[in-house]
Chain A
Amino acid sequence: MLVSSRASQPLSGARHWWRTLRVAYWLGWQIESNWTDPFLFFVYSIARPLGSVLILVFMYYVVARAAAAAMLGFFVVGTACWPFVVQGMMGTAWSLISDREHWKTLRYIYTSPIPFRAYLIGRALAQLTTAVSAAAVTLVVGRWVLGAPLRVATIHFTYSLVAFALGIASVLALGLMVVSAAFLISGEAWRMPEGVGAALYLLCGAVFPVSVLPPILRTLAQGVPLTWWLEAMRRGLLPPGGVASFPQLTDGQVLGWLAVLAAVWMVLAWTVFTLAERRARNRGVLDRESAF
């Protein structure tokens, strides 16, 4: 009786958010990982990014066997960071879509007394956790097997950690933007996050410096925080003087642009999410199923 009355007491805003985030994280982790045993899940988590980096490595060796290793480091860091985008941005959208279309639980989650944004961010963080092993293994293989110049002595840890935190915030912001679009579309919702991911892969210099893009795409790339995040991560993890997307800027300027753009995109994502949620409710399409 005592337990029941305590449980029914309303929580304060921050505690409510935290509890929802934690439970959503746990739920997301279960959905992502409990379909198989831990070993197979680990293999599954690392196979795709390792495959990606090895494709680039073979492309590199086919063209430039004796060239400097600068491009190799560029590939390794970009490929190690990219799973965070795939899982954090695309995974968040797929969480919403699968709740709506596959598990058919969206209406129950949405109508439950929880902050829906906290739920989505919790699910996104669970997705992001699945990218950690992929990133770590890619960096280790890149350093010890492929010989990329990732040395503890030259890694700028504070810079890298700040850049990483800002990058994750940017990924979450992009995730909320894509979720906002997924609210309003149904038939193409499964493909849309993949489309956004493919466009960002091309635009953000994940596997090549944005300086090789045509001017119009280069300008677009500069407006996306992920471009600056990948550049900052490379500057933090690789020794100075390597291949860079923005060679004319200092490390501090790159981090500054990343911070500004991350903040702008977070505010933008919050606003767009609010508007999209309202519009979806007004149109009655919040839980509209179409795939099955």
Chain B
Amino acid sequence: MSDIPKATGFTRVLRASRGRSYPRIIGLLRERSWVFYDTVLPLLGTIAFVYVYKALGAPDRFVGYVIMGGAAMGFWMNVMWSMAAQFYWDKQGGNLELYLVSPCGLVPILLGMSVGGFANTLMRTVAIVLVGSVLFHVTYVIHQLPVFIAVFAVGIIALYGLGVTFASLFLLWGREAWHMANLLMEPVFLGTGFYFPVRALGFWVALGTSIIPLTLALDALRQLLFPETHPALLPVRIELAILGGLAVLFVFTARFSLRKMEFLARREGRLSLRF
């Protein structure tokens, strides 16, 4: 008889999620080199774009735009590499099979990955914003703090929902997963307006790229930080409502897609396909 107490239902989900988030949160402190790379790499890219604006003679608020873009980049990279492509790494390491034969299923695993990944990335993002702001003397005044927090929270839920949806799609793939995650970097930085107001893309194009939650989240946060100068795509409250809709949509899509793709991956024998 096992000494491990049986867990069922919601308790099982919570325990499995906690178990999966544990290495990500503890890794934040334990793997020093990851802290260095995850903080310094986005910071170097961010600084390069700050210098682009300096070379163009742009007003100081654009430096703030770039630092926010650098912070958002941390979340996007976490979602693509540590959520979407994670099952690809897990295939390589042999963990995916273990997840599938465990009694909890994949949903709590992904939930744990999201929570752990978010906590981990949040710390690094704060570091990027702090260091970037100190280096380039940027100050922020947050207007309507509760709305700011709501936009951030809803945006993150929608973003990680998208990450789980991608994870399920990538479940079918081998090497393609790595390449697709790689592909969805600069084109997404462009479409979501990481380094410039997304309105510059044109209203309809920007509305189209709003399917990626970061677009509206960044635009709304910039409106709250630079209310007089930022060319808004939509009013903040409408953007918040759309983000809420995206969060619900992606959470349900993720759940449906995960079941469908897991079934397909099992049927086509791709769950243990490493290369």
Q: Is the CB of B92 within 8 A of A59?
A: no
CB-defined contacts of B201 to chain A, threshold 8 Å:
58
Residue interface mask A201-218, B partner, CB < 8 A = 1:
110001111001100000
Q: Is the CB of A191 within 8 A of B44?
A: no
A51–B187 Cα gap in the complex (Å)? 5
| Number of cross-chain contacts by CB at 8 Å | 116
Q: Is the CB of A47 within 8 A of B186?
A: yes
A194 at the interface (CB under 8 A from B): yes
CB-defined contacts of B175 to chain A, threshold 8 Å:
35
B53 at the interface (CB under 8 A from A): yes
CB-defined contacts of B1 to chain A, threshold 8 Å:
none
B137 at the interface (CB under 8 A from A): no
Q: Is the CB of A212 within 8 A of B190?
A: no
CB-defined contacts of B33 to chain A, threshold 8 Å:
187-188, 191
Q: Which of A61, A103, A191 contacts B200 (CB 8 A)?
A: A61
Residue of B nearest to A200 (CB): B44
CB-defined contacts of B56 to chain A, threshold 8 Å:
59-60, 63-64, 71
B101 at the interface (CB under 8 A from A): no
A199–B43 Cα gap in the complex (Å)? 10
Q: Is the CB of B187 within 8 A of A47?
A: yes
Interface of A is mostly: helix
On whether A207 and B37 interact (CB within 8 A), knowing A54-B190, A58-B190, A59-B56, the answer reads no
Q: What's the least CB distance linking B175 to chain A, in Å?
A: 4
Q: Which of B55, B62, B187, B188 contacts A209 (CB 8 A)?
A: B55
A281 at the interface (CB under 8 A from B): no
Residue interface mask A139-168, B partner, CB < 8 A = 1:
000000000000000000000000000000
Q: Is the CB of B186 within 8 A of A201?
A: no
A61–B53 Cα gap in the complex (Å)? 11
Interface residues of B in 40-62 (CB under 8 A from A): 40-41, 44-45, 47-49, 51-58, 62
Q: Is the CB of A64 within 8 A of B92?
A: no
A59–B198 Cα gap in the complex (Å)? 10
CB-defined contacts of B76 to chain A, threshold 8 Å:
none
Interface residues of B in 138-183 (CB under 8 A from A): 174-176, 179, 182-183
B235 at the interface (CB under 8 A from A): no
B213 at the interface (CB under 8 A from A): no
B250 at the interface (CB under 8 A from A): no
A202–B55 Cα gap in the complex (Å)? 13
A292–B55 Cα gap in the complex (Å)? 43
Q: Is the CB of B92 within 8 A of A36?
A: no
CB-defined contacts of A52 to chain B, threshold 8 Å:
186
Residue of B nearest to A35 (CB): B175
Q: What's the least CB distance linking A149 to chain B, in Å?
A: 17
A56 at the interface (CB under 8 A from B): yes
Size of the chain A interface, CB-CB below 8 angstroms: 41
CB-defined contacts of A102 to chain B, threshold 8 Å:
92
A167–B189 Cα gap in the complex (Å)? 28
A61–B196 Cα gap in the complex (Å)? 10
Residue of A nearest to B173 (CB): A35
Q: Which of A47, A191, A206, A291 contacts B41 (CB 8 A)?
A: A191
Q: Which of A59, A208, A212, A292 contacts B195 (CB 8 A)?
A: A59
Q: Is the CB of B54 within 8 A of A55?
A: no
A192–B185 Cα gap in the complex (Å)? 18
Q: Is the CB of A36 within 8 A of B62?
A: no
CB-defined contacts of A202 to chain B, threshold 8 Å:
44-45, 47-48, 51
A48 at the interface (CB under 8 A from B): yes
A198 at the interface (CB under 8 A from B): yes
Residue interface mask B55-79, A partner, CB < 8 A = 1:
1111000100000000000000000
A11 at the interface (CB under 8 A from B): no
Q: What's the least CB distance linking A215 to chain B, in Å?
A: 14
A194–B31 Cα gap in the complex (Å)? 18
A271–B52 Cα gap in the complex (Å)? 36
Q: Is the CB of B49 within 8 A of A48?
A: no
Q: Which of A35, A56, A206, A212 contacts B176 (CB 8 A)?
A: A35
On whether A35 and B41 interact (CB within 8 A), knowing A62-B197, A64-B56, the answer reads no
On whether A212 and B54 interact (CB within 8 A), knowing A47-B183, A55-B190, A292-B93, the answer reads yes
B118 at the interface (CB under 8 A from A): no
Residue of A nearest to B38 (CB): A191
A195 at the interface (CB under 8 A from B): yes
CB-defined contacts of A243 to chain B, threshold 8 Å:
55
Q: Which of B41, B58, B93 contacts A194 (CB 8 A)?
A: B41
CB-defined contacts of A55 to chain B, threshold 8 Å:
186, 189-190, 194-196
Interface residues of B in 11-38 (CB under 8 A from A): 31, 33-34, 37
16 A-B pairs within 8 Å (CB atoms) are namely: A44-B179, A51-B190, A58-B195, A58-B201, A59-B49, A59-B196, A63-B53, A63-B57, A71-B56, A194-B41, A195-B41, A198-B45, A198-B48, A199-B44, A201-B48, A292-B92
Which 7 A-B residue pairings sit nearest by Cβ, starting from the closest? A51-B186, A198-B44, A208-B55, A51-B187, A191-B37, A188-B33, A63-B58
Beyond the given A48-B185, A63-B57, please list 5 additional residue pairs across the A-B interface where CB-CB is below 8 A: A52-B186, A194-B41, A201-B45, A207-B48, A212-B54
Interface residues of B (CB under 8 A from A): 31, 33-34, 37, 40-41, 44-45, 47-49, 51-58, 62, 92-93, 174-176, 179, 182-183, 185-190, 193-197, 200-201, 275
